[in-house]
Amino acid sequence: MAFDDFATKHVACGDVSIFARHGGEGPPLLLLHGYPQTHMMWRQVADRLASHFTIIAPDIRGYGRSTQPPEREGHAAYAKRLMAWDMIAVMRSFGHERFFVAGHDRGGRIAYRMALDYPGAIRKLSILDIIPTGEVWARADARFALGYWHWAFLAQPAPLPERLIGADPETFFFKEQFPGAADYLDPVGYRDYLACMENPAVIHAMCQDYRAGASYDRVLDQHEKGKVRIDIPLQILWGSRGALEQWYDVLAVWREWGSKVEGQPVEAGHFLAEENAAATGDALLDFFGR
């Protein structure tokens, strides 16, 4: 079954409605997208996985076709602990109490928070092209500030980032922040990302996501480091041409958080699932299929 032919569903999760695409056959596998994308980033990989797994691919709260929550004090509405609960509720709505999870970028941050907060729900976890949020901030230096400048920019108080981005979202996201993205992202997904970015509420949600990352998520990681661990099999994939390969000993960082860590780089930049869908899909099939 092709990803484009999957059924769709809106799931009520407290103060938001989560949009999800679902299909395939086999054990349940939750696929979580990152910034500045939607569930469609998984389109090519999901086509490879659907004959082995039942795929559930949602838009995380605030992004894509999911709704934005009411504002809370600070940026608590986008804390990864709450976004992790969303995904538990989504999977339970499909009747899945235990399942596999793969998350890229912001979706990876939701995914590892799920594994820490709901250890009995996750069978295996694959995280694509990140290290934990608290580790990112702890290691922030001039190289990070220049290379990942959007982390601090998006976290600035509203409405400055929203106004600047909203003037020309395509240029901001895909010509300046990720130059040449139109050449290597899946064209169907690319059109979907741009369509969703026409909604100012989605742009605000992305900024709120990063504001929560710089506050709630950073502090929670720092508080929990060394006190909790991910004890399920944990696969880490990252782009061989991306920042993580240059800046960090990726597996060593994750071994401070997990007891069963494995992984390797994929010949790609940051957007593994679109830049090299074949290698990414093969790595996920091998890991979840064992």
Contact between 250 and 278 (Cβ < 8 Å): no
Q: Check if 10 is active-site.
A: no
Contact between 290 and 52 (Cβ < 8 Å): no
Q: Determine the residue type at 287.
A: F
DSSP codes, 186-212: -HHHHHHHHHHHTSHHHHHHHHHHHHH
Contact between 105 and 139 (Cβ < 8 Å): no
Q: Check if 33 is active-site.
A: no
| Tokens 């504001």 found at | 211
Q: Is 249 exposed, middle or buried (0-12, 13-18, 19+ CB in 10 A)?
A: exposed
CB atoms within 10 A of CB 244: 19
DSSP 2: -
Q: Which residues contact 119 (CB under 8 A, 6 or more apart)?
A: 230, 231, 232
Q: Where are the alpha helices (DSSP H) in 21-105?
A: 43-49, 80-93
* Enclosing H/E stretch for 289: helix 277-289
From the list 86, 105, 186, 209, the catalytic residue is: 105
| Tokens 């590892």 found at | 112
The length of the chain in residues reads 290
Strand pairing partners for 144?
none
Contact between 37 and 193 (Cβ < 8 Å): yes
Residues tagged active-site: 105, 270
